Each structure stands twice: as structure tokens, then as C-alpha cells.
Structure 1
């Protein structure tokens, strides 16, 4: 495709309507931090998640035609800078989850492929912080490194499957906690968190919140009683913790995933995470994302020390 044809395609793409489906935690985690553009690369855009107030950097292995770079919805970004082979963008903090923007980056030398296209999708808290874009074929060493990474990932997955199988075969109660190394000599600490409320108006009410921590294993959990005042039920698409250090933590266990009933009827939700020692002492925000794209943030979440 010629450079002019690529630019023409860009103009057509940038007129497409913005979609509002919020990407899931898994989709953003799966967004590749490395994009390899081969001569036979198709026109399908590469996915990158962006989040309000967080910087995303695109680094290219070849020179780009900076004057022809096109970004849909430029006004929704606090900054958008091109320096050499790098593009640095930072969306505004009021970015709505699910907003989508196409960014097309043409290359200078006229070779194939003539440009790279990216689909930027807004997530409430998770951003693809850096995307390295490599054009043309990679050396053999890169394929070998990728094969090593895949083997290491498969080994981790096999280990995780064995762990889950062991947990499934272990009965509950204290025996289950001891068998899985969760309950140790120092026991479990609990603390009731009071006066918690969602920051999205009165969209979510927290009636009770019990915060727990298994001291020896740094497993933490929340037992919540939630309700919402809307006249229709509200389905939760995902729920996770976010801290002030850029950390985002998806629960390893989520009980009570059904929709919240209408009319402020309380429903129990239990969540569990595995944290590191330095992370347990932090203050968190519980981020609740609905299937309708509405996001509620509940601050001042702490675990017993």
C-alpha cells in the first residue's frame, strides 16, 4: 500500500464512531508490549490500553513521518508529543472507560508496510505503558528468545494448574487453610472498615466491609455487603484493587459475581488477593467496573498490619 493510500485509509478510519465497550482486565494484560510489523502484515490495528492521567509511550525501530501521524480524538489527550522515533501520549483524567481512538503512524522510507495502526481503548486504571514497534523481519535470536519466554510461561502455567488441582482436592475449613500454606503460626488478622462509599455519586453503597490478612502468607481478603439504588440490576464486569504506585491487582478469588439487584438490596461479595510484603501496608482503592461502562471507586481500603 502506498503512503498516500495509507493516509487515505487513516482519514476513513478516523471518521468511524467511538465505541463504548470497556476492555476487561485480561484484555489489557494481554495487549502486547511488542509489535512486529512484517511485509505481509495485515491492516488490523494493534490493541493498546490507555488510562486517564497515565503515560503511554510508542517506540519505533524506524523513522516515522511525524507530520502525517494521525490521532483520533486528539482533544481527549492532555499531551501528545513526537520526538524522533518515539510518540508519548497522556490521556486526560476524565477519559471515559471504553472510549476508543485510532492512531496511524506512517513511515518515511515508503517500504512495506507503509504504516502502523493502533486501536487505543480507555480502561479505568490499566494502561499499556510502553509499546515497542519493530518493522520487518526479526533476527533468529529474537525468535529464540521468544521461544524461551513461551517455554517459561508454559512452565508457570503448568505449576499454577497443579496448584489449583491441589486446592480443588483439598477440603475446606482449617485443614484446607493449613494444607495450602495460607494459615500460619501468626494467624489471621481482621479489621472492619467503616464509612466507605463509592465516589461515583450514590451509585454504590458499602454497608459492611471486613478486611482480613493471613499474616504468614500475605493473603488478603475483603468481605463486602454492597447495594445499588438503580431501578434495574447492575452487573459487575470486573473488580480490582489499585494503589498510588501504579499497581493494579486482580483478585485470585471472587465469590458473589452475580448482578447487584435493584433498590438497595444488599448482596455479599468476597474477594481475595495474594500480595507481596511491601504491598500489604499500602492504602488501596477498590475499582468496580459495570457492564454498562460505569466505574465506581471506593477508597481507603487497607488491610490489618
Structure 2
């Protein structure tokens, strides 16, 4: 049964009123009793707690709970002492050999997880005497924002999977290009910016690479850039990490590039970039940005334009 002395009861009240920030469980072997962490992502998980007839088990929470919203299966077979942060329960002898019960506790604030359930497993002789509950609370707005972002990412992934499946069902090589509609009888529209007309593009003085030739291409729903780049650094290779195109209204379009390997010192190599976007978003003048992983050495050129689609079969 529970200790009923005034000193013990006062200690329970003091512990119940103690504020605590969200913590993590200590390494195994260092915790005094059982330790359970609650996260918003695992709100549907139900941890198991071992109890035994005649032995009290105390749950100690780091967040206030609502005693009026607590539910306990087979409540008539338990001695129960609910508090703001301490909940102690003791199964009677009638629970010996009984099936597991579930206790559910809800928290007093509006954060998530809003409630937590524990599966009570009856052991004939050994019960866990103390269970620490550390709750990693998050606001509802934060969780909803993350769910929206996840749904958007899943939608994009599904669209990409459908595109890959559609491409897989088409023939490869030149026949595949014609079948996909990327190439028509007139070929892929392109325009080349050679050293003789470098006034077409703008370059930053801080550029780590030298552009020798810039060629742009267009196909339905996508654009591409072929760059002959030289690395004048005599001591260090340049490793591409990311690339974007910035449109005339500040729109940022992520670009994929190939090959993603170091450009050695003094070497000249062609790098290809591609952007998939509706044709309306790829009209006008763009700025191309390439950078390394640390963002210190960049390559930026402006006034990049793309040819118009040829009117005709397949385009």
C-alpha cells in the first residue's frame, strides 16, 4: 500500500510541482529505474511497463498531466494516486495472472504528444517501481507544418516516380528521344556563347573557374546548359556540390549537374546542367550559380538565356 505519512505526502507534492525542461534518458545502466522518452513522431507507440500485485509503480512526468482525463483498464483492481506529475498505481491480488491493461495519461498543455499510453504487463513477483517519462513536446502548428512539407515532398517524389516509370517504358537512344517528344525533326534548339561573343554573359571577378564555352538547350519542360570550364588554380581541384538558376523575378530553380567529380588544377572539362520546369518559368534572362560544399569558391555567370522551342512535329 502507499505511504500515508504527512512527510511522504508533502514530498510527493513538492516533486509534482517541480518544473523541468525536456530531457533525454541517460545511457543504460545509469538510470535509476526505468526511463521512457515520448516524441511527437512516435505518438502511436505504446511502451510496456512491468507491474506486480502488491507493489506500487510510480510514473514521474516532466510535464503536467490532467488527472481528470486519465483512463485505466480494470481500474477497480488498482490502488491509484494521481497527481500533476506523479502517478502511482498498485495492482491488487486480483490482477495476478490477468491480461495486460492499458493506462492513458493526457497532458495539461496544448503541445504534442497530447496523450501517452502504457501497456501494463503483470508479473507474479517483479514490478518496476519507478518510471521516468521525458516528453519532447512540440507545438501543434509545428507538427502540422512538418506534415504539410512531408505531403508536398511525397507528392513530388510520386511525380518523379511516374516520370521515371514512363521513361523506362520508352525505347532508349535516339528512338527514345523522338518517342518522348524531347527531339523533333529539327533537333533540340540550342544557342552557343563562344569566346568571340563573351559580352553576352556577365562574370564575377571572384569566379574560381573560367568559362570557355557556354551552350544552352531547350526541350519541352526542361532546359540544359553545357559548360566548358577551366580551373586556373594551380594547387587545388574544384569539386561541384550544388547549382541553381535564378530567374528574372528572383525565382530559384534547382539544377542537376554531371559529372559530379573534381575538376583538377589547370584542367578543362565540360559540365552539363539540367533544370526541369514548365516552359513559362524558363523564359527570360537567368543567373547561373555553381558552388563547392563549403560555399567559399563559387562560379557565377549572368545574362544566360535559352532558345525558343522550334514550332514543328515533336516540339
TM-score of the pair, normalised by structure 2: 0.46
Q: Which has the larger radius of gyration?
A: 2
TM-score of the pair, normalised by structure 1: 0.47
